[in-house]
Amino acid sequence: MKLGVLKTGAPPASLGAFGTYPEMFRRLLGKDAYDYSVFAVDAGELPATPEACDAYLITGSSAGVYDGLPWIADLKGFLAAAKGRAALVGVCFGHQVMAEAFGGRVIKSPKGWGIGAQTYRLLRREPWMADAAEIRLPGSHQDQVVEAPPGAEVVAASDFTPFGALAYRDQPAISLQLHPEFEPAYAIALIEARRGTMLTNEQADRAIASYGAPDDRTKIGGWIRNFLETAGTTARG
């Protein structure tokens, strides 16, 4: 399967040792699991057509979907054109921009930062999931989906993030606010990089302490692979 990774951002330069977002996803999903192609969407690069790949994964970004950046408008247009023509997986910013592209709404949440390992309740079991009551993954976001698009159903949520994960019923597409690609060491380093600027010492300490418990990164990586194995081959059928 050809998997296009739509890169919409980059880690802080000081954290370059952890690799790029596409590299993080390759480690999560398997370096040789797919025929990967990376498109630097944040630099204006998009696939020529949705059919260029069987599926697309949209990464996280420091940008907000409401920012007036030309590449964000272009990405929304591409996603709208790709509906039903390629499978889609969105993570964090990817989750948000998919929601906006398909008729939902995203805002900078008055609740503030969602950082540290976070737990979502699973509201229903999808065919690509294993049996579980909840999932625990790294989180790092201020923006939130506040209205789901028509055709999308909430499949995982918390009190802090009621639209935590979406499954689309009108196309092969799923999205998640949390970050299964963030290894705990990177998540902690990112918090430290923001300490005293974006985050208070109290916020940073509390978020770092949350990484003392196990997470479900490996499990969710498997769920994404399960989804892609079926959805990516049937998107055009």
The pLDDT mean for the chain works out to: 96
Summarize the confidence of residues 193-199 as an average pLDDT. Answer: 95
Q: For residue 223, give the CATH number of its domain.
A: 3.40.50.880
The pLDDT of residue 236 is above 60: no
Kindly state whether residue 15 falls inside one of the protein's structural domains: yes
Taking the C-alpha atoms of residue 220 and residue 144, their distance in angstroms, rounded to an integer, is: 20
What is the percent of the chain where pLDDT is above 90? Answer: 97
* Domain total of the chain: 1
pLDDT number for residue 182 = 98
Residue 192 lies in a domain: no
Residue 236 makes CB contacts below 8 A (sequence gap 6+) with: 51, 54, 85, 86
Give one word for 84, left, alpha or beta, with left for phi > 0 and alpha for psi -120 to 50. left
Per-residue pLDDT tens for 102-113?
Answer: 999 999 999 999
Domain span including residue 36:
2-182+216-234
For the residues 176-184, what does the mean pLDDT come to?
A: 98
Confidence of residue 223 (pLDDT cuts 50, 70, 90): very high
- Whether 188 is in a domain gets the answer no
